[in-house]
């Protein structure tokens, strides 16, 4: 079975949000159009406690974009975003959430970040998404969302590692591009591991 996976279509990642990704809002109409075409639609949601270690504000003298060691892992520091129960963490209001079967939250442990929808960044804990997909008989994923070079990329790489066939809906993703070329490099990383590039019009 094929499933559509929506990555972090949340207020804080769209224009006006705390960690806004350029044109992130343009993905919402695409998601709404695609959802009825799939038997199963799942979503991930960044869901951070306010004291999360990835927030620059929780480290004296640090700024967003700097890199630190967080419990043995290299960690990019971000603005405070997607705090549990906040407006910024909610899905964009225009998203047809009634079409989403199940939501998997990530980034809930203040000691480690979680870009991927499957695992934290150290692969120390699973979100349950992988097991759920296998229980439901899903073997092929269509992935879209925010951000191409972080949460989308690591979700896709983990899905491939777990044995799923993965299609990246390229026109339905937007990236952070902290460094010029990050998005292009992320796409190469995903395709070199087996992801197939598709467009929303092909689905």
Confidence of residue 59 (pLDDT cuts 50, 70, 90): very high
Question: What is the arithmetic mean of pLDDT over 99-117?
Answer: 97
Which residue segment(s) compose the domain that 118 sits in?
2-47+82-202
The C-alpha angle 146, 106, 19, rounded to 5 degrees, equals 40
Q: Is 85 exposed, middle or buried (0-12, 13-18, 19+ CB in 10 A)?
A: exposed
Q: Among this protein's residues, is 106 annotated catalytic? A: yes
Token pair recorded at residue 83: 């705090």
The pTM score is 0.97
**How far is it, in rounded angstroms, from Cα 170 to Cα 16?**
23
Task: Provide the number of structural domains found in the chain.
Answer: 1
Among residues 12, 14, 106, 173, the one annotated as catalytic is 106
The verdict on residue 71 lying in a domain is: no
What is the pLDDT, as a whole number, of residue 48? 98
The verdict on residue 59 lying in a domain is: no
CA atoms within 13 A on the CB side of 137: 2
What is the pLDDT, as a whole number, of residue 69? 95
Confidence of residue 92 (pLDDT cuts 50, 70, 90): very high
Report the mean per-residue pLDDT for the chain: 97
CB 14 within 8 A of CB 92: yes
Among residues 8, 12, 120, 158, the one annotated as catalytic is 8
**How far is it, in rounded angstroms, from Cα 92 to Cα 9?**
6
Among residues 151, 153, 158, 173, the one annotated as catalytic is 151
The verdict on residue 64 lying in a domain is: no
Q: Supply the CATH number for residue 108's domain.
A: 3.40.50.850
Q: Among this protein's residues, is 151 annotated catalytic? A: yes
**How far is it, in rounded angstroms, from Cα 193 to Cα 203?**
22
The verdict on residue 77 lying in a domain is: no
The verdict on residue 10 lying in a domain is: yes
CB 13 within 8 A of CB 19: yes
CB 2 within 8 A of CB 112: no
Question: What is the arithmetic mean of pLDDT over 81-103?
Answer: 98
Q: Which long-range contacts (CB under 8 A, 24 or more apart) does 175-184 make?
A: 175/21, 175/147, 175/148, 175/149, 175/150, 176/19, 176/21, 176/147, 176/148, 176/149, 176/150, 177/149, 178/65, 178/76, 178/149, 182/149, 183/148, 183/149
């Amino acid at each position: 079975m094929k499933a559509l996976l929506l990555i972090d279509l949340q207020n804080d990642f769209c224009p006006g949000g705390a960690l806004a990704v350029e044109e992130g809002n343009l993905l919402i109409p695409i998601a709404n159009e695609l959802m009825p075409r799939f038997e199963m639609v799942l979503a991930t949601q960044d869901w951070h406690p306010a004291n999360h270690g990835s927030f620059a504000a929780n480290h004296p003298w640090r700024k967003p974009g700097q890199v630190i060691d967080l419990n043995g892992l290299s960690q990019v520091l971000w603005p405070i975003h997607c705090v549990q129960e906040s407006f910024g963490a909610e899905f964009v209001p225009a998203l047809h959430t009634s079409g989403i079967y199940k939501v998997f939250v990530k980034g809930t442990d203040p000691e480690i970040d979680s870009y991927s929808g499957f695992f934290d960044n150290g692969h120390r804990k699973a979100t349950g998404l992988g097991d759920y997909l296998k229980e439901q008989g899903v073997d092929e994923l269509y992935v879209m969302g925010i951000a191409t070079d972080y949460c989308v990329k690591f979700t896709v790489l983990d899905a491939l590692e777990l044995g799923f066939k993965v299609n990246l809906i390229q026109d339905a993703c937007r990236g952070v591009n902290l460094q010029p070329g990050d998005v292009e490099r992320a796409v190469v990383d995903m395709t070199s591991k087996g992801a197939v590039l598709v467009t929303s019009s092909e689905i």
